[in-house]
């Protein structure tokens, strides 16, 4: 029991010392390890990371500068597009008497959600503004381009229009013997009532050639009734809202669907239908309404001739019974 106690005492007095030493050694090693790692880390970060961070910083500053230049360029382009837009509205479209192109929503900015990914860092306001300006520029460029396309078509149409609109006399004026005006008749020869005369009557000899007064497509030809109405007639469709009618013809030289050009002979003056003597009844119809054909003779008429024509106009109707 005594020996055992002694040996136990010895062990318990030696072992704590050893354990403490062992623990101390371990702690020292760990601490040393930490110190070494920290020093290495500091050295490595000093040698490698800092220049990288420095270069990143430099690149950031350069990017900010480049964004500034980009914004300047966007502003310049936007002001040029604005000038084009202004000319489009106040010059080109005024020339063709058309309203400005309406593209619903083309100038409305995109929703904020489109720019959400640009948020969240110190450069977000710069990026956000640049992208918004760039999108606005893209939208106005698109609108301007569409508008110019439309103007190009209008310019082409205007050229066609100048050929299509009725603009000459439908017969040779030297053959003209009498002129009966457009408008309200003072007295209808048969019905004895006031009636609207839908065209002008150009009296001349039977067989005088009748000209198409503008480029057109023959919409209709009709043999008519023997003693009533328009008799033999041709209706031309000139597009752009214009139609012309040539009635009481003796002969017709065109058929439905034919394409005719201004000055082309389409028939001969006669006295078919409700007519008492050879004459051409000529109508100009614009957007479905009969208008005064005299206003469409001016292409080859001087103002003196026009005045004379107006003075010599007759309002009685000896020639028609329709």
Site residues (vs Zn ion, CB under 5 A):
201, 281, 320
Q: Which is nearer to Zn ion, 140 or 271 (CB)?
A: 271
User: 54-86: b or e for each residue (b if 16 or more CB lie within 10 Å)?
Assistant: eeeeeeeeeeeeeeeeeeeebeeebeebeebbe
DSSP 100: P
In angstroms, give the least distance from the CB of 247 to Zn ion.
Answer: 7
Residue 182 CB, nearest distance to Zn ion (Å)? 9
Cβ within 8 Å of residue 26, ≥6 positions away: none
Q: With residue 222 as reference, give the H or E element that holds it.
A: strand 216-222
Greatest Cα-to-Cα distance within the chain, rounded to the nearest angstrom: 166
| Strand runs labelled E in 51-190 | 178-180, 183-184
215 versus 320: smaller Cβ distance to Zn ion? 320
**Other CB atoms within 10 A of residue 163 CB:** 13
Rank residues 132 and 314 by Cβ distance to Zn ion and give the closer one: 314
For Zn ion, give the closer residue by CB, 93 or 281.
281
| CB 283, min distance to Zn ion, A | 8
- Minimum distance from CB of 318 to Zn ion (Å)? 11
CB of 196 to Zn ion, least distance (A): 11
For residues 88 and 320, which CB has a smaller minimum distance to Zn ion in the complex?
A: 320
Token digits of residue 317 = 């109707």
Our CA dihedral for 50, 51, 53, 54, rounded to 10 degrees, sits at 120
Which residue's C-beta sits nearest to Zn ion?
281
């Amino acid at each position: 029991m005594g020996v055992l106690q002694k040996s136990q005492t010895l062990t318990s007095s030696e072992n704590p010392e050893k354990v403490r030493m062992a623990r101390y050694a371990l702690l020292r090693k760990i601490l040393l390890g930490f110190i070494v790692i920290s020093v290495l880390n500091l050295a490595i970060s000093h040698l490698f990371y800092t220049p990288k961070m420095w270069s990143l910083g430099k690149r950031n500053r350069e990017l900010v500068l480049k964004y500034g230049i980009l914004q300047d360029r966007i502003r310049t382009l936007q002001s040029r597009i604005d000038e084009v837009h202004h000319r489009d509205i106040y010059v080109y479209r005024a020339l063709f008497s058309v309203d400005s192109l309406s593209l619903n929503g083309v100038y409305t900015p995109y929703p904020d959600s489109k720019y959400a990914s640009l948020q969240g860092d110190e450069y977000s306001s710069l990026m956000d503004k640049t992208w918004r300006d760039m999108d606005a520029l893209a939208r106005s460029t698109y609108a301007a381009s569409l508008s110019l396309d439309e103007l190009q078509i209008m310019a082409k149409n205007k050229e066609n229009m100048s050929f299509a609109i009725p603009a000459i006399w439908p017969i040779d004026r030297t053959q003209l013997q009498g002129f009966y005006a457009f408008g309200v008749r003072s007295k209808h020869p048969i019905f004895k009532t006031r009636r609207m005369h839908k065209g002008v009557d150009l009296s001349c000899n039977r067989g005088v050639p009748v000209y198409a007064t503008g480029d057109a497509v023959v919409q209709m030809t009709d043999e008519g009734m023997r003693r009533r109405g328009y008799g033999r007639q041709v209706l031309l469709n000139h597009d752009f809202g214009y139609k012309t009618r040539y009635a009481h013809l003796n002969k017709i030289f065109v058929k439905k669907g034919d394409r005719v050009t201004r000055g082309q002979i389409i028939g001969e003056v006669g006295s078919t239908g409700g007519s008492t003597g050879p004459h051409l009844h000529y109508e100009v119809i614009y957007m479905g309404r009969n208008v005064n054909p005299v206003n469409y003779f001016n292409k080859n008429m001087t103002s003196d001739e026009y005045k004379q024509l107006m003075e010599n106009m007759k309002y009685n109707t000896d020639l028609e019974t329709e």
